[in-house]
């Protein structure tokens, strides 16, 4: 055998071993092998899980999962599904680090199927642990009668109930317009809604703890920043009064938010959120976030008071540009949950009277209906409203 032939045979042997190794590696990097779908006896079943161009690839000392999945689920219950939340958990990723994908504003009758799209990118250091890199599980299902199924680890019950209440509020508003003032009024309302959506400032935000590893910058911020008091919008039928509040503001960054509230209703409150609006030096206003009650397990009796605190820093920007300095903060009660599970949200009338419609985002349902109007026209919108 010549040396030349020997090299060829070695090449062939190497190809053979490389192919075997690649087959083994390929099995590990098959996206389907690193995802676990878990619906936990839910009244929905997976019809199909299309992973599209998902891929798992090692990069440096880490493994990157690019998941582009469309999950088709079937409603096996006897009620229409209004919303679903899927939890995305990566074991040992980071303490408490997790994600979720929710689909509100659904109206899926029994037996029908609906898609849920998940676009996810996950980085795991190597060596990756045995078993799936990521688990997608059901956190909650909300039905048309507000009944709920799921472990609710992400508080999806309350979140989806608020979405559904907003949906009913806004559909009712549009149906009233249609009945009392006709299709032209509905059309005007939709055009106004689309205009508001397009006019809202679209910003980026970064949130991190105001203390801890950023101790130096927090100290600098404390020296250069200033304390800015909240102004409050009084919503007439709100169960809570906002008493006082302030935040540490430095340029386009706000930190250490605090708002004191009093329960003026005759019911116990176990959770509330205060929406906060930022006004920048250019005169632009936008909803910056939501300040939830603290701590968890609140029991705010009638006449009692509580404080909502947040030890986090919020940095706003518009792409690479920083935002003009924050010059004003406005707060309003955006939701209240009573101890019996009932939820209060501001009425449409209150949002209009307090000029909040142009500042806060439209509800998920108004977004869906306005897009339906934009793409399919007024008649399609009218027919959609008649389904409810």
Partner 1 sequence: MSTLFWKHPGEADLALFAGGELGPLARWRIEGHLHACGECRQAVGEFFELRSRVMDLAELPQMDWNGLAAQIQRRVEQQRRMSSSFAPARRAWRPAWAPALAVLLMLAAGAYITRRYRAPEPPLSGAASLNASAGAVELRLGDRQVLTLTNDAQAESQVNWRVSAGAVSARYLDADTGNITVNNVYTQ
CB neighbour class for 167 (10 Å; exposed up to 12, middle 13-18, buried from 19): buried
Q: Where in 95-124 is the site for partner 1 (CB under 8 A)? A: 95-106, 114-123
Tell me: does residue 3 bind partner 1 (CB under 8 A): yes
Tell me: does residue 197 bind partner 1 (CB under 8 A): yes
Close Cβ partners of 33 (under 8 Å, ≥ 6 residues apart): 27, 132
Tell me: does residue 244 bind partner 1 (CB under 8 A): no
39, 49, 51, 93: residue in contact with partner 1 (rule CB under 8 A): 93
| DSSP characters over 236-270 | TT-SEEEEEEEEEEETTEEEEEEEEEEE-SSS-EE
Q: Where in 283-342 is the site for partner 1 (CB under 8 A)? A: 287-292, 294, 310, 312, 314
CA–CA distance, 319 with 337 (Å, rounded to integer): 36
Least Å from the CB of residue 344 to partner 1: 18
Q: Of the two residues 116 and 242, which places its CB atom closer to partner 1 in the complex?
A: 116
Least Å from the CB of residue 76 to partner 1: 19
Half-sphere exposure of 379 (CA within 13 A, CB side): 0
88, 133, 278, 306: residue in contact with partner 1 (rule CB under 8 A): 88
Least Å from the CB of residue 106 to partner 1: 7
Close Cβ partners of 253 (under 8 Å, ≥ 6 residues apart): 221, 225, 313, 314, 315, 316, 326
3-state secondary structure 155-188: CHHHHHHHHHHHHHHHHHHHHHHHHHHCHHHHHH
23, 27, 127, 297: residue in contact with partner 1 (rule CB under 8 A): 127
Tell me: does residue 371 bind partner 1 (CB under 8 A): yes
Least Å from the CB of residue 303 to partner 1: 26
| Interface characters, 340-369, with partner 1 (x: CB under 8 A) | ---------------------xx-xx-xx-
């Amino acid at each position: 055998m010549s040396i030349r032939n020997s090299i060829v045979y070695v090449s062939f042997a190497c190809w053979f071993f490389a192919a075997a190794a690649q087959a083994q590696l390929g099995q590990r990097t098959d996206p389907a092998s690193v995802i676990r779908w878990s619906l936990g006896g839910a009244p929905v079943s997976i019809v199909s899980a299309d992973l599209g161009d998902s891929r798992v690839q090692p990069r440096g000392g880490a493994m990157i999962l690019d998941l582009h999945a469309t999950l088709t689920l079937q409603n096996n219950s006897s009620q229409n599904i209004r919303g679903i939340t899927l939890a995305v958990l990566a074991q040992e990723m980071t303490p408490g680090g997790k994600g979720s994908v929710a689909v509100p504003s659904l109206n899926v009758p029994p037996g029908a199927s609906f898609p849920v799209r998940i676009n996810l990118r996950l980085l795991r250091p190597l060596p990756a642990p045995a078993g799936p890199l990521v688990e997608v599980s059901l956190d909650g299902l909300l039905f048309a009668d507000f009944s709920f199924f799921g472990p609710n680890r992400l508080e999806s019950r309350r979140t989806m109930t608020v979405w559904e209440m907003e949906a009913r509020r806004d559909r009712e508003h549009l149906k009233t317009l249609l009945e009392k003032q006709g299709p032209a009024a509905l059309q005007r309302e939709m055009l106004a809604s689309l205009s508001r959506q397009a006019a809202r400032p679209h910003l980026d935000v970064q949130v991190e703890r105001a203390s801890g590893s950023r101790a130096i910058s927090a100290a600098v911020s404390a020296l250069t920043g200033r304390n800015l008091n909240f102004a409050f919008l009084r919503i007439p039928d709100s169960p809570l009064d906002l008493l006082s509040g302030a935040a540490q503001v430095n340029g386009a960054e706000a930190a250490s938010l605090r708002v004191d509230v009093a329960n003026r209703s005759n019911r116990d409150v176990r959770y509330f959120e205060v929406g906060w609006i930022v006004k920048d030096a250019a005169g632009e206003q936008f909803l910056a976030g939501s300040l939830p009650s603290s701590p968890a397990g609140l029991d705010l009796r009638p006449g009692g008071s509580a404080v909502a605190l947040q030890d986090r820093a919020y940095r706003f920007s518009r792409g690479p540009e920083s935002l003009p300095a924050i010059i004003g903060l406005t707060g309003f009660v955006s939701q209240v949950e009573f101890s019996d599970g009932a939820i209060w949200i501001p009425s449409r009338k209150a949002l209009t009277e307090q000029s909040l419609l142009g500042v806060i985002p439209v509800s998920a349902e108004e977004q869906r209906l306005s897009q339906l109007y934009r793409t399919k026209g007024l008649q399609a919108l009218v027919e959609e409203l008649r389904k409810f």
